[in-house]
Structure 1
Amino acid sequence: MKRKQRLEALYGALNERILVLDGAMGTMIQSLRLTETDYRGTQFTNFHKDLKGNNDLLSITQPHLIRDIHTSFMEAGADIIETNTFNANRTSMSDYDLEDFAGEINRQAGKIARQAADNFTNMTPDKPRFVAGVIGPTTRGACTVHDVNDLASRNITFDTLVNDYQESIVALLDTNIDILLIETVFDTLNAKAAIFAAKSAFDIVNYELPIMISGTIPGKDGRTLTGQTVEAFYNSVAHANPISIGLNCALGADALRPHVKELARISESYTSVHPNAGLPNELGEFDESPGHMATVIADYVENNFINIVGGCCGTTPKHIEAIADVVSGQSPRTIPDIEPGCRLAGLEAFNITKNSLFVNIGERCNITGSAKFKNMIIANEYEAGLGIAESQVNEGAQIIDVNMDEGMLDSEEAMQQFCNMIALEPNIAKAPIMLDSSNWDVIETGLKCTQGKSIVNSISLKEGKESFIKQAKLCQHYGAAVVVMAFDEDGQADTLERRKEICKKSYDILVNELSFSPHDIILDPNLFPIATGIKEHNKYAIDFIETTKWIKNNLPGALVSGGLSNVSFSFRGNNIVREAIHSVFLYHAIKAGLDMAIVNAGQLALYDDLPIELRKAVEEAVLNTNVNATEQLLKIANDYKDNKLSEERAENPEWRSFPVSKRIEYALVQGITTHIIEDTEEARQNADRPLHVIEGPLMDGMNVVGDLFGEGKMFLPQVVKSARVMKQAVGHLTPFIEEESAGEQTRYKGKIVVATVKGDVHDIGKNIVGVVLGCNNYEIVDLGVMVSCEEILETANRENADIIGLSGLITPSLEEMVHVSKEMQRIGCSIPLLIGGATTSKTHTAVKIEPHYSNNQVVYVPNASRAVTVVSTLLSDEKRIPYISSIQNEYKDVRARTEKRRSGQNYLSYEVAKTKRPKLDWEAFVPPTPRKPGIHVFDDYALEELIATIDWTPFFTSWELSGKFPKIFQHETVGNQAKQLYDDAQELLNEIINKQLITAKAVVGIWPANQVNHDDIEVYSNDDPNKLLATLCHIRQQNQKSDNTVLHSLADYIAPKETGIRDYIGGFALTAGLGANELSQHYIDLDDDYSSIMIKALADRLAESLAEQLHKRVRIDLWGYSPDESFTNNELIREKYVGIRPAPGYPACPDHTEKIKLFKLLDATNNANVSLTDNYAMSPAASVSGWYFAHPESRYFSTGNITKDQISSLAQRKNVEFTDLERWLSSILSYEPN
């Protein structure tokens, strides 16, 4: 096959199936136990250095061995084989003094692989084999310090890497390979050098090959060796337009899973993975079996993670064969639709999309703009300069501008030194770098030092089109976004028309001639000083703003930036006026579409905080609305000299001197309740009527809160605190309003009835949504929990509601929501229906709920932050119809995809599925006999003992703050708010414990048990082992992924009765919510939603902590099968222990009705004060129950969907009606019930 045919076949195969990469060349070579003589061959008999271990050299000295290894992997099922060239580059070969042989090694390795692949393709033309030319990371890193006494030193340069890589790549291209594989990337700057070399090599040979890129994550922190997150790594190399981006080496398939999942979520390329066979043992060997590795890969396939899969260190043809078997016939990952945007990176990803807030670019690491920074650099005080960079990041700069243009400096050397030192400071390096210079060589030097995706500032048409294109192409090769100045051969654009003309010309060249991503184009239409006294300058700011609007409407995807300090340059020395000009300009420019600007992040005054006189004068100058604006501004400028607004604003103890309406607004925004009653009373006395205080300053303040939340400038806990202030103020006014009997109602934007559906007691999420909507001036009618369909609809009708919102946590709630939607349709209800809660999803809403309600729109609302936008749109006369149409089309697509996915599944019959159960060796395993069988009651469990095992991460999630504890405290956006929330939680938790406000209780049981009928477990009395107490009916997986798929049921982990082995099972029920509802209501009565929601969130955490501690006590003492275990809290959270505790209603046992048997066995209602609702939710809400399994091979899994024959069998075994069981298990049916 010719190259073109092979590439067509490659892309065709990737669209149809998962391709298999080969395994570990090094492992196979090691297994041959070659000697020094073998490595030397006949060619290097008298070479002056030892060559043993130089595996790449074997392509020259022992080509038949390499060919045999390729053959063994293709016989095992590999579609793609990798050339034996991992170290075949000058840098790595220099360790053997063989650098001059690097090119020849690549040529020989490529030829061997090509011949081997062609042989197999000839034998099986319908399954062609492909050759990937391997480009390894080399033995050095471009981000690695060479001398610890000189932190800017590096042990290899970018240029050296490019030259070495280019030599290797050109040699590989000579051998007719199909793919370039840049793999085991530990230093992204090395990978960028390889990409640069590949692009250059393609120019030499005049054709291109697809590039695969694969990084490596060596530790648990999910970062590369040089500190990048997975998404930052992706953003940094995506400019290569690779056929695939993946991960390999360092970790086994289990440990790589979360990182592969993340990559699959964000990548617009195909995804690949070739993990190690586990981690090396103490002898450096890899122990993970082919079977285990294949099982994990099957999970990858099931979750739509991968397109290409193979093996790295320790993997043999047996591993590849097992992998090939599990992916055979399976669908490849579908590439997701990714929102377009400018995707930058430092150590962390920074994405700018159409919904992003304004981006602050830190300006103070610019020699031309900061005398302080300039003096530091000239004095060679680079570490002091790093302090300025770090302070900018801490003050909110999301990108750091670096400029070293100074006649007294070697600017290239200074740029290299500073960028290299930044790379070693994680707090700075997390942000992308803007490389700023008027000298292209200085910019290029910076590009060779930054592993992330940077911004070049700038290029232009100043020196003509040819130079512009050359620099733009280099930006593409380096993988950088680019600022384009409105500058051509005729000079800088200084009029509106010239700005438009040059921006369009530049954009068209980049997009149409160079295929430059429009989202990586940042246009700077030139921001010049205003109010200079020269009439022509008066339009500079408004022309910039108008150009920004034009760009947004006419140059799709392009971003707009500007150098903010320029606009105020005529007032240098008067900081307060300069800050005012910046604030007013940004206020209007951002509304026009300005995406970013170079600013001093710590000195941005708030528009609303400016003195009115100054703001008016500045606004007239910026917008050029008054011919005398310059004179007016100059006249008042001296009044503000030697002041700084930002310093006055930073901490303002004088807010108590504000007018009362502003004090109320300040208290609402800051969440301060201290003075709200006295301020509200003062406002009441000044108002004509008490109602006017609500409709005036209180609503005005809440509108500010709503706007800040919508703009991402406030977070959920702050909004809830604001609601607490509002409620206390309204509570004070209510008696006066009632006394006045005005008969008037507060004017709300709309009325919403919210409820947790019948049978469900969980309401944290519902309460938060209610608070957020209330803060945005919607009237909330909260019906509470366990609300029947009839009550919901009667209330909505009586209250003349505009919207109904349903919430639920447990899966039976999903069916109740379907019931409500059907009833709404039946009675002719015609208002929108919102669906939310932990168990809900867009898919369930689209497939199960929306088809039953066509009178208006059903909308899935994933979290509180989305609720306001959804509600305001649904109630907008202008926006409602197009929004509903878009939702209907989206849900139609969801249904189509779901049906396609469902029809593509291979469900075995239930009888056949039982034959696919795991084969556990019951002859070799003796079930541990419990030390203390029977029932154990834990009454009034000490809450203080639960603090140490609290998993705080879900706590922050419930408040819509994303991040893992305790790392969340360092998050640049939500860190401060997370810390404040945590401190508030600690304070309330201490009060709960000290005053004994909540009680925790639990009951644990351990009983003899045996498996019967494959999927059932008989539970016997401890007193009489022949006395049957209950039969637990479990569910088995039926979706066959491959011929080797193992289909699990929890019953598999209990010894079958026919073995004669006595086994055991445990169960538990607990709560940490006794008193929580009453305490929560107490805070509601005090108009304190914040503490009310906090109580329930803390009770949930305490309950989960109690579940963790009880399970540990069971393992160590009560059952005692793991008496010597010792795990940290993090290890407990990650479930490192032996055994599992699956809960009824969760993926491994999704049947909530089985809780009845558990509660009866435990007598949970009497022993733990936990009861079940009609829909089998536990009450109190902060309760947990489940089973204990002790078998060392027990694991969590999801049953997935099941077929009608298993439902029929289950109904017979449980002695219940078939249709009733269909209703309870509706969320896992593989078919639509009648």
Structure 2
Amino acid sequence: MELKTKLGKKMIIFDGAMGTVLQQRGLKAGDIPERLNIENSEDIIDIHKSYLKAGAEILTTNTFGANALKMNELEYSVEEVISAAVQNARQAIIESGIDASVALDMGPIGELLEPMGSLEFDEAYNLYQQQVLIGVESGADLIHIETIADLYEARAAVLAAKENSNLPIFCTLTFEENGRTFTGTSIRSMISVLEGLGVDGIGLNCSLGPEKLEPLVEEVLKYSETPVILQANAGLPVVKDGGTVFKISPEEYFKPLNRLYQKGLAVVGGCCGTNEEFISLIAEKLKNKKVKEREIIKESLVCSPSQTVNLEGVNVVGERINPTGKAVFKEALRNGDLDYILKVAVEEIDAGADVLDVNLGLPEIDEKKLMVKVIKELQGILDTPLQIDSSNPEVIEEALRYYNGTAIVNSVNGEAEVLEKTLPAVKKYGAAVIGLTMDDDGIPAAAEERFKVAEKIVNKAAEYGISRDKIIIDCLTLTASTQQAGVKETLKALKMVKEKLGVKTTLGISNVSFGLPERPILNRTFLSMALYQGLNLPIIDPNDEEMMFAVKAAAVLNNIDQGAAQYIEYMAEVEDKSDLAEIKENQNKEDDLQTVIIKGLKNEATRLTKAALKENEAIEVVNKYLIPALDIVGESYEKGEIFLPQLVQSAETVKEAFLVLKEEMNRTGGRDIFKGKIVMATVKGDVHDIGKNIVKTVLENYGYQIIDLGRNVNIKDIVKAVKENNIKLLGLSALMTTTVKNMEKTIKAVREEVPEVKIMVGGAVLTTDYADMIDADYYARDAKIAVEIAKEIFSA
């Protein structure tokens, strides 16, 4: 099958599940499905053949977990497993005599990437690169990246596939009912990033049944220009007769798929709980049907994983992360004082910045190295999109590689050399780019000449495949004190660019007033004039309230802010902030420890904890500052106001405070700050411990001592740890449907030996009903609920 020719034109049918079908054929709970590629290849080939007979056009290799990190305890190498898996799929095609493509299946690595976890981006890339190279060598026809919850991990996988093969790439993420992945990634951010990286198919898999995923897929269909994929579970599993059962029938499964087909779905298959019966019905109804045309909403987006900014309106770019004219900032850069930079960023966001410009240009520092470090730190505490500001193309490319989202590049200009050095990276990573209206001859005086430079930039970008929705033109603000006539030309050029080229516009506002008295008055007036001409991205200091007032007011008067809703909300927030500022002036300095924890400023936590200890015992610091701050963070997480990266960063900040408190305890012999011991483990056969590690981190920072047994833990080792440590609460985790049976066995063994211990369970495949069925005491959906459970147990 010529996949690329058919993709997006005729419906393409994927196969269904592998792991749950193997379970039905006798795969024991906790056994590793990938080893069967070698030990029982006949079964794997037979499953592939059943899907081909059912009508599948793409066979997925049995390599979901075949990466070096997950398989380090397996006696077979990654190369052996993947090669055998591709060969099995190919053999099924030969024996069936049915034409089909072989998709190299790459699932999640099993560990969280930085900044939420400890796995570095390059390590993740290398793990995926190894899989891709083996898959290509073995003869795979396409690469299917699936069941990803972390957009950063998806980026690593896609880049590994793009840079090490010429094969088509499909990428599907797993979403929860709230429209976000486990780590907080939104649908629109997924689309922006994956389309920017150039995948061939994009969509959703696993998660929930197709009916619950239907509204989420509709959103993808509405905004994605790439062919859309859906491979849903057959609903959530339940326990029946000691086994895992999926209740949705093929007929029920197909109904929402058919509705989505009518709206433009292009590729469909099945995930956990589906089998050849599901695929047969889908193929019978949809195979080779023409993909329906859809009306796609084209947006100009930049984004972080959890937040998108539409450049169509007016959005403020914070200008303060820039050493120019800032002696304290320069000193912070020289000393590697990232906390100072992070505090500036937090202040800009709190003041209302929509995008943060990040400029670290000092001749005496390693700008490339520091830029990557600052971007990672910023993304650990903030979900605001970033604007990477550098005159060095190498710095820009390095920053784009490690930025988790769709960034703005600031900037290129009309010089041919600059365009040729920077635009390829902009295209490769799907970024937006600012073009300055200057060339080898400098900044043209006349608006018409600046327009010509802008036009040249737009045309050159088009040659690299960069569309106009990703282009932002800066007509350059001149200083009124020395080039007064040029200010008017800037505004004239801005209007021409807006009307004739149809691209977005930006200006650095404050330069207009340099060298003149009462600069804020000139800045505000110039900003208002530029907004009237169609300015989209004013680069200003968002802490200047009068400038922010002008932006919000202009959006109302230009009929952008419908019903003045954003204006009213902003003014209400300003009033609230004023009241808080007055209260804060009367508070003790150590009260800032709460704020530092909420914002995730780790280094500040050490200093402020020491300050708090001058007036309080260690246990009082925990109860007075740490716990209330974590409660606020937890509530924000529950409400969807912050997401997993920010939750983890706050927990990591509390860790720094606890180190200080432990030192104080050792020195003074004061009361123990720990509230109780909890044993945690991922059950036998399951090599995923992402969720467990997050729960562990948060519980530790609420003052509980965690005995972490790790992943793939034998039942007897769990029982032993519970008995030896006199444990009141045990936490068990399982992510895969193939290992949930071992959780039930573990609970039974613990109950027999230590009946008084309370057991909480968690994991992607679990529900409250399932927790009840396997005799767990509690179902901990997330870390916040785990904390509430621990409070209940240990307060009693």
TM-score (normalizing by structure 1): 0.43
Partner of residue 496, structure 2: 550
> CA separation of 1:968/1:410 partners in 2, compared to 1, >3 Å: closer, same or farther?
closer
Q: Given the alignment of the two structures, is residue 56 of structure 1 paired with residue 34 of structure 2, yes or no?
A: yes
Is the counterpart of residue 264 in structure 1 residue 114 in structure 2?
A: no
The aligned residue for residue 349 of structure 2 is 393
Deviation readout 1:780-834 (Å, 9 max, x if unpaired): xxxxxxxxxxxxxxxxxxxxxxxxxxxxxxxxxxxxxxxxxxxxxxxxxxxxxxx
Question: 1:301, CA displacement in angstroms?
Answer: 3.6
Alpha-carbon distance in 2 for matches of 1:523, 1:185? 35
Shift of 1:90: 4.0
Secondary structure of 2:316's aligned partner:
strand
Give the counterpart letter for 1:712 in structure 2: Q
Give the drift of 1:214: 0.5
Q: Does 1:564 align with 2:509?
A: yes
1:247 to partner: Cα distance? 0.7
Please name the residue that 1:137 is paired with.
108
Structure-1 separation of matches of 2:567 and 2:527: 28
Q: Deviations over 1:861-888 (max 9, x none)?
A: xxxxxxxxxxxxxxxxxxxxxxxxxxxx
- CA 1:398–1:155: 2 relative to 1, 3 Å: same
Q: Which amino acid in 2 is paired with 1:483?
A: I
Shift of 1:608: 11
- Aligned-partner Cα distance in 1 for 2:330–2:359: 10
Task: Kindly provide the amino acid, as one letter, of the partner of residue 123 in structure 2.
Answer: T
- Contact preservation (8 Å) 1:373, 1:388: no
Deviation of 1:434 after TM superposition, in Å, equals: 0.8
1:361 and 1:716 mapped to 2: Cα distance?
A: 17
1:79 and 2:94 are equivalent in the alignment? no
Asked whether the equivalents of residues 230 and 267 of structure 2 are also in contact (C-alpha less than 8 Å), the reply is yes
Task: Find the aligned partners of 1:308 and 1:175 in 2 and give their Cα distance.
Answer: 24
Alignment of 1:594 onto 2:535:
yes
Deviation of 1:176 after TM superposition, in Å, equals: 4.7
- Cα distance change, pair 6–304 in 1 and its aligned pair in 2 (3 A): closer
User: 2:294 is matched with which residue: 321, 335, 346?
Assistant: 335
CA offset at residue 717 of structure 1?
11
Give the one of 310, 325, 333 matched to 1:352.
310
Equivalence map 1:1165-1180=2 (5 Å): none
Counterpart residue number, 2:481: 531
User: What value does the CA root-mean-square deviation take over the aligned residues?
Assistant: 3.9
Tell me, yes or no, if structure 1 residue 240 matches structure 2 residue 193.
no
Counting only pairs closer than 5 Å after superposition, residues 630-669 of structure 1 correspond to structure 2 as: none
- Cα distance in 2 for partners of 1:58, 1:594 equals 60
Q: Is 1:515 matched up with 2:471?
A: no
Per the alignment, residue 149 of structure 2 pairs with: 186
The SS at the match of 1:714 is: helix
Q: Which residue of 2 aligns with 1:15?
A: 9
What CA distance in whole angstroms lies between the structure 1 residues aligned with 2:253 and 2:32? 31
- Partner residue, 2:658: none
* SS in structure 1 at match of 2:352: coil
What CA distance in whole angstroms lies between the structure 1 residues aligned with 2:35 and 2:473?
51
Alignment of 1:687-726 (within 5 A): 707=557, 711-712=561-562, 714-715=564-565
1:6 positional shift:
4.9
Aligned to 2:761: none
Q: Give the counterpart letter for 2:484 in structure 1.
A: N
Q: How does 1:100-249 map to 2 (within 5 A)?
A: 101-103=77-79, 105-117=81-93, 120=96, 122-123=97-98, 128-146=99-117, 154-157=118-121, 159-202=122-165, 208-217=166-175, 219-249=176-206
SS of the residue aligned with 1:15? coil
Match of 2:379 in 1: 423
The answer to whether structure 1 residue 584 and structure 2 residue 525 are counterparts is yes
Instruction: Tell me the distance in 1 between the aligned counterparts of 2:489 and 2:78.
Output: 58
Q: Retained in 2: the 8 A contact 1:104–1:171?
A: no
In the alignment, the residues of structure 2 paired with residue 705 and residue 587 of structure 1 have an alpha-carbon distance, to the nearest angstrom, of 10
Seen in structure 2, the aligned counterparts of structure 1 residues 95 and 522 have a Cα distance that, compared at 3 Å, is farther
Cα distance, 1:296 vs structure 2: 4.8
Secondary structure of the residue aligned to 2:208 is strand
The one-letter code of the counterpart of 2:433 is V
Q: 2:403 aligns with which of 420, 443, 450?
A: 450
For 1:213 and 1:138, how far apart are their aligned partners in 2?
Answer: 15
Map 1:626-1025 to 2 at 5 A: 707=557, 711-712=561-562, 714-715=564-565
Could you tell me how far apart the structure 2 residues matched to 1:472 and 1:716 are?
Answer: 35
User: Aligned to 1:132, what secondary structure does the other structure show?
Assistant: strand
Q: CA deviation at 1:103?
A: 4.5
Deviations 1:19-50 (A, max 9, x none): 321112222334444689xxxxxxxxxxxxxx
Change (3 A) 1:452 1:174: same
Partner of 1:657: none
Amino acid aligned to 2:247: E
**Contact 1:361/1:400 (CA < 8 Å) preserved in 2?**
yes
Contact 1:525 1:547 in 2 (8 A): yes
- Matched letter for residue 459 of structure 2: D
Q: Which amino acid aligns with 1:83?
A: T
Quick one: distance in 1 between partners of 2:397 and 2:640? 35
In the TM superposition, residue 246 of structure 1 has moved relative to its aligned partner by: 0.8
For 1:408 and 1:167, how far apart are their aligned partners in 2? Answer: 38
Q: Which moved more, 1:344-353 or 1:398-407?
A: 344-353
Q: How far 1:216 moved relative to its partner? A: 1.0
Match of 1:156, as an amino acid?
E
Q: Does 1:474 align with 2:425?
A: yes
Query: How has the CA–CA distance of structure 1 residues 130 and 88 changed in structure 2, closer, same or farther, with 3 Å as cutoff?
Result: same
In structure 2, how many angstroms separate the alpha carbons of the residues matched to 1:474 and 1:717?
37
Q: Take 2:109 and 2:16, find their aligned partners in 1: how far apart are those partners?
A: 20
Contact 1:252–1:276 (8 Å) recurs in 2: yes
Distance 1:369 1:237, change over 3 A: farther
Q: For 1:66, which of 16, 37, 44 is the aligned residue?
A: 44
| Runs (5+) with no aligned partner, structure 2 | 570-635, 644-767, 770-796
Alignment of 1:281-296 (within 5 A): 281=238, 285-291=244-250, 293-296=252-255
Selected match of 2:450 from 499, 524, 527: 499
Q: Distance in 2 between matches of 1:718 and 1:477?
A: 40
Contact residue 56 and residue 87 of structure 1 kept, 8 A = yes
Contact persistence 1:251–1:276 (CA under 8 A) = yes
Deviations 1:403-433 (A, max 9, x none): 22234544344333332233233xx31x211
Check 1:494–1:445 CA distance in 2 against 1; reply closer, same or farther (3 A cut). Answer: farther
Q: Which amino acid aligns with 1:455?
A: I
- Partner amino acid, structure 1, of 2:106: I
Work out the CA distance in 2 between the residues paired with 1:35 and 1:541: 74
Is the CA contact 2:204–2:229 (under 8 Å) kept in the aligned structure 1?
Answer: yes
Q: Is the 1:253–1:293 Cα contact (8 Å) retained in structure 2?
A: no
Is the 2:494–2:505 contact (alpha carbons within 8 Å) kept by the matching residues of 1? yes
1:130 Cα deviation (Å)? 2.8
Counterpart Cα distance in 1 of 2:387 and 2:340 = 19
Structure-2 residue corresponding to 1:774: none
The aligned runs of 1:1108-1123 (5 Å cut-off) are none
Offset from partner CA, 1:1028-1083 (integer Å, 9 cap, x none): xxxxxxxxxxxxxxxxxxxxxxxxxxxxxxxxxxxxxxxxxxxxxxxxxxxxxxxx
**Alpha-carbon distance change, 95 to 490 in structure 1, aligned in 2, over 3 angstroms:** farther
Counterpart CA distance in 2 for 1:433 and 1:607 is: 19
CA distance in 2: counterparts of 1:240 and 1:712, whole angstroms = 34
Q: Are 1:483 and 1:523, in contact at CA under 8 Å, matched by a contact in 2?
A: yes
1:364 maps to 320
Deviation at 1:54, TM superposition (A): 4.5
Q: Distance in 1 between matches of 2:392 and 2:266?
A: 43
TM-score normalized by the length of structure 2: 0.64
Distance in 2, matches of 1:705 and 1:491, equals: 33
- Which structure: larger Rg? 1
